[in-house]
Structure 1
């Protein structure tokens, strides 16, 4: 039997290298990829990562900037029509028990090469999604040039290991629409630097979930908010008002709970400093994730590959296929 690190892509599951799923692990399943237990949970109302009640960090919290979470971005009827349209096209096998549909340029990330040839634009049903995103300030000027649909199934052991998205081609904002079932996006950081926590046991020793700091745009008011703005001031305020402690970044893992039909944007620190993952245990039933990516500065106005970026953008925004 081949060692996991030597295994090529398998025709029945698409896994290769160290990746695996329930299909290729076989009857005597190998140990699944590491699945950490998240010890903090992201609170959309405050923009804080709050210690899980049964963890050693219960009663502690820290600002977690770079997340915009919007529930019910689409309705049930829209979701159903989108899934029907996606299922009319072929799903290609991908690693770790996933299936995928890619709409974007052909890219070799290791060699930093890409081709626009063969790219016909984003699916037509995405036109309304992109237009709707413009209503929120965090997505102002967001023009995606790639859409990746990922299909997760528990019976395949679908998952995606902790990773950073590419920075050479893709820009700061990663936008994902979560369909069909809820899940948890697990955030982790490898840095040995210290993370400052503050206790939520304040106001005379009573636990409080109200911090009095700028709220995120979870109020869903379009174009009048800057998500997580002012958290530098909030952090200074809490450091004086509450007891603090230091822990290594790598000891904190943050769960972002994604409800069905919710829209998630990762940017700033959450994009570049924290890895994100979906573990098997958080895929309860079929789940489809639609991820949109924008161009990096290198392919934008004034960048070294501005002309190629302009070509990709024109193709992407032309859209294709049949509308919903």
Structure 2
């Protein structure tokens, strides 16, 4: 109900979705000077980013681990069914979300358990499965964020780097309901390869896959999901582990231990 003058979405600042663009009658003006972008496609088998241009150049693209068919069709159906029984809260850029994690103020660098009761029960077997692979050995997630994307809302997520004060080395995401593209970008280009303009690497995410970002793909390259790459409903679950500061011998090891105990109780409900 928009009668009270409230825009029916959660976009703030420069964020936007189809709902607020329609409501605010926003017109996106195309700049006359088109920005030069070098487009590459990630090849999961070779670990190379291969140019989409005619010359077909490539370079090693490290920090991405792709696990196809991480979950089965039956598991996907069950996960979505359980998620849809809970409330989806409006989020920015046309997304909806469900959070299972501590209360965090990144600007003030403060974190507390607050209403966090743990990761959801169905995640327990998924986390155990993750840990069986060498790339995810010892992975202990302390936060899970479910995001719901839909083309009719113009859902997207802008290029960004995840926090590294609280969150650790590996970002783990399960992609559900439809395939999409994760766009990795480096605005300053790769001068060492003679690419002085922005470089983008498209990482195709098949339905029901798991993707891990670590190393340079985690800390140097921004990642995004563009509106044009959401063709039907897409739901993802992203799991984050703690940084060294919150682990054994870290400054906040005690708080980290409490967060992990809560998270891995797997008795959580969305916050």
Does TM, normalized by the shorter one, top 0.5? yes
**Counterpart Cα distance in 1 of 2:186 and 2:65:** 19
TM-score for the superposition, normalised by structure 2: 0.91
1:247 aligns with 2:195: yes
Aligned twin of 1:146: 143
Q: Is the 8 A contact 1:38 1:186 kept in 2?
A: no
Aligned twin of 1:19: 15
1:117, distance to aligned residue in structure 2 (A): 1.9
One of 79, 82, 95 as aligned partner of 2:76: 79
1:251, distance to aligned residue in structure 2 (A): 2.8
77-86 or 25-34, which moves further after superposition?
25-34
**Counterpart Cα distance in 2 of 1:40 and 1:183:** 16
Aligned twin of 2:244: 297
Aligned twin of 2:40: 40
One of 100, 106, 109 as aligned partner of 1:109: 106
Q: Is the 8 A contact 1:187 1:254 kept in 2?
A: yes
**Counterpart Cα distance in 2 of 1:61 and 1:111:** 41
**Counterpart Cα distance in 1 of 2:17 and 2:90:** 12
Aligned twin of 2:205: 258
**Counterpart Cα distance in 2 of 1:162 and 1:187:** 8
1:195, distance to aligned residue in structure 2 (A): 3.5
**Counterpart Cα distance in 2 of 1:32 and 1:149:** 32
Q: Is the 8 A contact 2:118 2:262 kept in 1?
A: yes
Aligned twin of 2:267: 320
Q: Is the 8 A contact 2:37 2:198 kept in 1?
A: no
Secondary structure of the residue aligned to 1:46 is coil
- Compare relative contact order (CA 8 Å, sep 6+) and give the higher one, 1 or 2: 1
TM-score for the superposition, normalised by structure 1: 0.77
**Counterpart Cα distance in 2 of 1:37 and 1:76:** 37
1:12, distance to aligned residue in structure 2 (A): 1.1
Aligned twin of 1:240: none
Q: Which has the larger radius of gyration?
A: 1
Q: Is the 8 A contact 2:187 2:199 kept in 1?
A: no
**Counterpart Cα distance in 1 of 2:132 and 2:91:** 33
Q: Is the 8 A contact 1:38 1:255 kept in 2?
A: no
Q: Deviations over 1:171-208 (max 9, x none)?
A: 01000000000100000013355132xxxxxxxxxxxx
One of 140, 159, 162 as aligned partner of 2:159: 162
Change beyond 3 A, Cα 1:32–1:112 = farther
Unaligned 5+ runs, structure 2: 1-5
Aligned length: 260
Q: Is the 8 A contact 1:102 1:147 kept in 2?
A: yes
Alignment of 1:129-208 (within 5 A): 129-191=126-188, 194-196=191-193
- The Cα RMSD (Å) is 2.0
1:270 aligns with 2:217: yes
163-172 or 312-321, which moves further after superposition?
312-321
Unaligned 5+ runs, structure 1: 1-9, 197-245
Change beyond 3 A, Cα 1:93–1:33 = farther
**Counterpart Cα distance in 1 of 2:59 and 2:190:** 15
Q: Is the 8 A contact 1:97 1:159 kept in 2?
A: yes
**Counterpart Cα distance in 2 of 1:311 and 1:141:** 17
Runs of 4+ in 1 over 4 A off after TM superposition: 32-38
